Amino acid sequence: MNRFKALYFMLLVMFLAQGCAPKESESYHADRGYSGSISISGAFALYPLAVLWSEDFKKIHPHVRFNISAGGAGKGIADVLTDMVDIGLVSRDLHPQETERGAFPIIVAKDAVIATINSQHPNMELLKKRGLTIKELENIFIHGSYKHWKDIDSRMVDEPILVYSRSDAAGAAETWAKFFKSSQEDLKGIGIFGDPGLAQVVKENKLAVGFNNINYVFDLHTKNTSANISALPIDINANGRIDEQEDFYGHLDSLTKAIGNGSYPSPPARDLMFVLQKGKHSKLLKEFFGFILQAKEQGYLLAHGYVPLDSATLGRQLEILNEL
C-alpha cells in the first residue's frame, strides 16, 4: 500500500511541476536565444514562404522547432481559430465572422492568382496575342457558357474547353472568383486539390484552362514559365488584343512588377497574411513576426515569386506588431 502511495505522490509532483513550468514556446536564454515550437498550416501560396522564413529564423535561434503544413487557406484559418496551430496561412480576405472569432492578420507579402493554360494549346499563339477579356473568363469560370474554344473566337479549334478549379477551401479560388464578383462556390470546372495538383492537370491536358498562384507556374531559377504551362494573358481593356501595357506574363520579373505597380488588377492580385488568434501570442511568435518583416527577409520575396510590401504597408504591420 505504501508503494502505491509513493507512486501516486511522485506522479502528482510531476503533474504539478509540468503545470507550473513556463511554456517552452515562450522561453528565452541569453546564451541560447529562443527555444520552443511554432506550428503553422494553411494556404499553398504561403507554404514556400513559411518554410523559407522558418529556415532563416532557425539559423539565429536553432532551438526553435517548426511544424509547417499546407492544406489551403480555409484549413489555415480553421486551425488557428481552434488552437490547432499558432499561425494560419491565409491568402484571401478574412470573413467578418472570422475576425469576430478573433482572427488577427498581419500582412507579410503580396502575390496574385493568374489564369493558366497548357503551353501546347493548339491556339497558343493566338491566345498570347489576343488574350481573354474579363467577361470571357467569367463566361468560362462562372457561367460555363462557352463549351468549345471556337465559342470564344471562331479562329480557335472546335474542341471542348477543359475547365479546372479547386476542390479545397482555397484562397486562390476565392480570390479568382472575387475577380468576377462571385464566390468559390460559383466556380465551374473539375475540382482539384491544392495548387500543385491544379497546375499538374493543366500541364497534362492541351485543352485545359485553370488558375494558380504565380510561384506554381514559373520556374524560380529561369524565371520563365515551367514546362507545359503558361500564364493566360488578360485583355483588361477588352480591345481584342494584348497591348504593350498588358504584356507582362512572359517573365516572372515583369509580372511581379505589374503586381507591385497595380498594372495587374486586384483582385486577383492580393495580400498574403499570417493570422494569429487575438490574445494568443507568445514572445517567440512576436519575435518571428518581427524577423519576417525585416528588410532582409522582405528582400527575398521577388526571387521567390512574391512581391514585397511597400513602405507604407510595412510600416502599418510593424505598428500592429508593436501593439501586440
73-108 pLDDT, tens digit each:
999 999 999 999 999 999 999 999 999 999 999 999
Is 39's pLDDT higher than 90? yes
pLDDT for the residue numbered 36: 93
pTM: 0.84
Mean pLDDT, residues 157-162 taken together: 98
Closest by CA to 91, choosing from 182, 232, 212, is 212
Residue type, 57: F
Output the DSSP codes for 188-252. -SEEESSHHHHHHHHHH-TTEEEEEEGGGTB-TTT-SBPTT-EE--EETT-SSS--GGG---SSH
pLDDT digits (tens, 9 = 90+) for 111-131: 999 999 999 999 999 999 999
In this prediction, residues 144-166 reach a mean pLDDT of: 98
* Per-residue pLDDT band at 26 (split at 50, 70, 90): low
Euclidean distance between CA atoms 212 and 161, whole angstroms: 17
